[in-house]
């Protein structure tokens, strides 16, 4: 989607802090603060660029990315003519379920954003920037609503980081990702206003967000805030179901990381689940497993409850009761969407009362055998009907390694017979193979794959970043270079030792 609002209009519509200057402070009665970015120290290098984002979203010719102006504009070294850099004010409920009202914000230069949390130098480093650049684009091509990444720029500027918060500080190099989204407003954007009693400003921001991004809601409708809430509830349920469909765990599902537009934002300690495990936790800092992949739907409900609390001052008592009824329907929306998605992943057309049984038993077998999530579904979609009928997995162990793992389960044979009977109803084998190879990716950004690219990038070799960007732009298509690199092969043993944190 094209950007529909000039930043001059944004500033006119929403108040900016009257205090100038880049220093830590508590702000009130505003949505933004002016914040002049501190340029990265050169020399700068364009390490990666998304042609799809540059041309399709920014409507620019790719040739502009080769200019020095591009490097300086998107890294914050220069400001675009007429632009005003802004830091957005928001808060949010954190991993321990407490509310933090001073999380800082993001400076925005004509739509360009860089994380600047309170009390830090605001710098990203190569490892976190590579991960965000690649995963933003990978999620888009998987069909999951997400912010996008247009470019990755690295510098020689030294940045001190304690990656795992264990006192092991080391020097890394600064980097910046040009991130794109229709909006960066999140649940925490509303929470901070509601918590501080700035209700008129809360109403103003809501009206702005609704007017810009929810055009089907009539501005003068007395129920508009209720309709807005209902829409966010529905779309959040759908988004988290889509995360589950590709085995994606966000890692930090705080309310300040949940978009009001229900798109995936703020890629930090994310992870794509390998061995199927509902307790999979990608974030080494999340020692309680609050944001495990199996808990994401419930965390979504928690965050929506906090959204309702934030909206309560602008809702009538009757509307608050209706909103609570809407919220009670969240679980059903999520379950219905999950059921639809996993039926599609298994190629099941139409309705059958045993479909839920097939899905549930398969996932239980995958958990028991620690079968790979992505490749089990992919291989089910690739293997021929003849091989299914022969149930001969020993001959395809190397190319069908995930199914070979699954086939060792004692219930597999019975499940397979039931699945084949259901699968062949009303169509040929070629029909169902084509049907669900388009919904089961062969390649996702596994942490070990990202780590391999990061290690090279930190030595100024961005060849694997470029290769991964290309491969992950077509995740459903078997690609020779990806197969040669082992991206669809059994993960290496060292991958199990990998850890990521909020700094990753």
Q: Which residues are catalytic?
A: 256
Dihedral of the alpha carbons of 435, 437, 438, 443, in degrees to the nearest 10: 170
Q: Identify whether the C-beta of residue 15 lies closer than 8 Å to the C-beta of residue 30.
A: yes
Question: What does the alpha-carbon distance between residue 45 and residue 459 come to, in Å, rounded to a whole number?
Answer: 13
99-106 long-range Cβ contacts below 8 angstroms, 24+ apart: 99/191, 99/195, 100/256, 101/192, 101/195, 101/196, 102/26, 103/188, 103/256, 105/32, 105/33, 105/35, 106/184
* The dihedral sign for the CA sequence 128, 131, 132, 133: positive
> Edge to edge, what strands does the sheet with 104-109 contain?
32-34, 86-88, 104-109, 112-117
The token pair at 315 is 């809702």
Residues 6+ apart with CB under 8 A from 237: 297, 300, 330, 333, 334, 337
- Helix or strand holding residue 398 (H, E): none
Q: Where are the alpha helices (DSSP H) in 424-495?
A: 429-437, 447-457, 463-472, 480-485
Question: What does the alpha-carbon distance between residue 503 and residue 125 come to, in Å, rounded to a whole number?
Answer: 9
360: burial class by Cβ within 10 Å (0-12, 13-18, 19+)?
Answer: exposed
Beta-bridge partner residues of 10: none
Question: Where on the phi/psi map is residue 486: left (φ > 0), alpha (ψ -120 to 50), or beta?
Answer: left
Q: What are the CA-CA distances from residue 101 to residues 94, 137, 196, 304, 350 (Å)?
A: 10, 31, 9, 17, 48
């Amino acid at each position: 989607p094209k950007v529909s609002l000039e930043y001059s209009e944004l500033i006119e519509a929403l108040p900016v802090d009257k205090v100038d200057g880049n220093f830590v402070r508590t702000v009130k009665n505003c949505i933004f603060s002016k914040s002049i970015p501190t340029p990265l120290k050169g020399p700068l290098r364009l390490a990666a660029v998304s042609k799809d984002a540059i041309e399709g979203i920014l409507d620019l010719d790719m040739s502009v990315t080769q200019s020095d102006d591009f490097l300086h504009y998107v890294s914050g070294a220069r400001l675009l003519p007429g632009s005003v850099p802004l830091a957005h004010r928001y808060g949010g409920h954190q991993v321990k379920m407490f509310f933090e009202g001073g999380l800082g914000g993001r400076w925005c230069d004509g739509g360009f954003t860089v994380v600047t949390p309170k009390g830090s130098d605001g710098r990203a480093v190569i490892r976190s920037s590579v991960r965000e650049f690649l995963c933003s684009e990978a999620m888009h091509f998987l069909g999951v609503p997400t912010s996008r990444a247009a470019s990755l720029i690295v510098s020689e500027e030294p940045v001190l980081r304690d990656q795992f918060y264990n006192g092991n500080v080391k020097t890394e190099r600064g980097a910046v990702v040009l991130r794109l989204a229709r909006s960066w407003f999140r649940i925490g954007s509303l929470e901070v206003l509601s918590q501080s009693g700035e209700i008129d400003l809360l109403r103003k921001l809501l009206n702005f967000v609704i007017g810009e991004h929810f055009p089907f809601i009539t501005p003068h409708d007395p129920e508009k805030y209720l309709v807005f809430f209902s829409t966010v509830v529905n779309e959040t349920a759908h988004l988290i179901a889509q995360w589950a469909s590709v085995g994606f765990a966000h890692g930090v599902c705080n309310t300040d990381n949940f978009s009001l537009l229900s798109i995936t934002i703020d890629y930090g300690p994310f992870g794509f689940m390998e061995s199927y495990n509902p307790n999979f936790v990608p974030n080494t800092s999340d020692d309680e497993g609050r944001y495990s992949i199996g808990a994401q739907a419930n965390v979504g409900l928690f965050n929506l409850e906090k959204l309702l609390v934030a909206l309560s001052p602008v809702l009538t008592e009757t509307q608050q009761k209706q909103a609570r009824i809407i919220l009670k329907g969240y679980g059903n929306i999520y379950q219905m969407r999950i059921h639809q998605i996993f039926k599609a992943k298994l190629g099941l057309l139409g309705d059958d009362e045993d479909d839920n049984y097939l899905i549930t038993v398969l996932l239980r077998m995958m958990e028991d055998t620690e079968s790979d999530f992505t490749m089990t579904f992919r291989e089910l979609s690739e293997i021929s009907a003849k091989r299914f009928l022969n149930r001969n997995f020993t001959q395809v162990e190397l190319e069908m390694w995930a199914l070979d793992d699954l086939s060792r389960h004692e219930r597999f044979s019975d499940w397979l017979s039931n699945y084949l009977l259901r699968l062949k109803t009303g169509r040929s084998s070629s029909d169902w193979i084509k049907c669900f190879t388009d919904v089961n990716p062969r390649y996702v950004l596994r942490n070990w794959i990202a780590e391999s690219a990061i290690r090279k990038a930190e030595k100024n070799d961005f060849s694997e970043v470029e290769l991964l960007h290309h491969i992950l732009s077509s995740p459903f298509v078997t690609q020779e270079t990806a197969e040669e690199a082992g991206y669809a092969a059994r993960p290496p043993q060292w991958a199990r030792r990998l850890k990521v944190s909020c700094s990753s």
